[in-house]
Amino acid sequence: MDGDRITGFSVAGHSGYAEAGADIVCAAVSTAVTMAEAIINEVCGAKAKVRVKEEDARVTLTLPTSCDEEETVQAALSGLMLTLLSIKEDYEDYIEVLEV
């Protein structure tokens, strides 16, 4: 974060809720992350940097210092955070959400 501005996110690891392919926690997080990235880059054209490390099961998105559609991008990132917190409420033993 930069003041009140969310500057990106990083999601890593596996939830351990179930085996790969049957893990609904992992599927929910993956879907939320994919949707947020699509809104930010494809819909808003923010040109955020996205890095995927398959070996760490990590996805990192970093916004540029400014975006033309800043309000919408921030709404997408806030929505992602709320979605992850909602998943955590239902599956607290399988997901950790940190705001840094």
Does the structure show a pLDDT above 90 at 9?
A: yes
> Is 44 domain-assigned?
yes
Domain of 84 in residue numbering reads as 8-90
Closest CA to 81 of 44, 45, 29: 29
Q: What is the pLDDT of residues 10-66, one digit of tens each?
A: 999 999 999 988 999 999 999 999 999 999 999 999 999 999 999 889 999 999 998
Q: What is the number of domains present in the chain?
A: 1
> Is 100 domain-assigned?
no
> Is 45 domain-assigned?
yes
Does the structure show a pLDDT above 80 at 94?
A: yes
> Is 55 domain-assigned?
yes
> Is 1 domain-assigned?
no
Q: How many residues does the chain have?
A: 100
Q: What is the pTM of this model?
A: 0.91
> Is 27 domain-assigned?
yes
> Is 98 domain-assigned?
no
Cβ partners under 8 Å of residue 73, min gap 6: 39, 40, 44, 46, 48, 63, 67
> Is 77 domain-assigned?
yes
